[in-house]
Structure 1
Amino acid sequence: MRPKELPRMAEVAPDSPLRLSVAAQLAFPDGSMSASGLRREIDRGNLAFERIAGKLYTTLAYIKDMRMKCRENQKERGSTGGNRDLDGRGNGSSSTERLSAAQAAASMIAQKLKSHSKPI
């Protein structure tokens, strides 16, 4: 049975169980999230849920936690500029350049080790 109209936000406690479609409409009033989007987040392990009588429920508090997880799980940038001085200014080289230099050095060491090996 579907609710005829959405409850008002003031009437919904953060821990009230809500069907996914209702939770999506309340938590994302611009319509950018649907029940299927919330199901995908459940499958990814980002959204906590309750299964009651075979139906999926979540809460606004669980959605708030999911949003924090999604914010924390964003992929890091390829070049972080992670080599900063104590005063916060960089020295001009990027983290990817240091990584490339380390890979080149490791490759040279591997080549030297291979060249000195006796044939089997």
Structure 2
Amino acid sequence: MADIDVSTLDPDTPLRLKLAASLAFPDGSMTESGLKREIERGRLECERIAGKTYVSLNDIKRMRELCRESRRGSANTSASARAGRPSGSSSTEQTRSAQDAARMTALALIERSKSTLPKSTNPNGAGESLRR
């Protein structure tokens, strides 16, 4: 790979992914495949010219801003928080609400099914009609 002085490079110059990764992450912590994953996730904009993928150093800068974690936000890293569901009491309230709705539906179905039983059926046991 050619030795390029990043300070003289226009930050909007299109670069192949391997070169862009080596310039933007000189410690080798980001690779071409890592940049491809960020493109797939929609965090890194790219240009496709003649079947080749290019990014600029400015594109990588914007990607890094999108990937930056806020220090002001909650330290909650629970699975429900990552999935976009609230945790704690509001999560419990939603669960209770869903359970209450399910219980009401079940009770309504039970009530409707009682009215479909024939009058001669004994719900406590069988054979009452045989006594006649």
Is the pair's TM-score, using the shorter chain for normalization, greater than 0.5?
A: yes
CA–CA separation in structure 1 for the residues paired with 2:106 and 2:12: 62
Match of 1:22 among 13, 19, 23: 19
Between 1:44-53 and 1:14-23, the stretch displaced more is: 44-53
Residues paired across the two proteins, number: 101
**Could you give the per-residue CA deviations for residues 10-69 of structure 1, whole angstroms, max 9, x where no partner exists?**
111110111111110111111001111111111222211112232211100000111122
Moved more, 38-47 or 110-119: 110-119
Superposition RMSD on alpha carbons, in Å? 2.5
Q: Which has a greater percent of helix? A: 2
1:11 paired residue among 8, 11, 34: 8
State the 1:95 CA deviation. Answer: 4.3
**Cα deviation per residue 1:60-82 (whole Å; 9 max; x = unaligned)?**
0000111122236xxx73387xx
Gaps of 5+ in 1: 81-93
- Equivalent pair of 1:42/1:48 in contact (CA under 8 Å): yes
> Which structure has the larger Rg over C-alpha atoms?
2
- Identity between Structure 1 and Structure 2 (%): 44
Indicate how the Cα distance of structure 1 residues 39 and 107 shifts in structure 2: closer, same or farther if over 3 A, else same. Answer: same
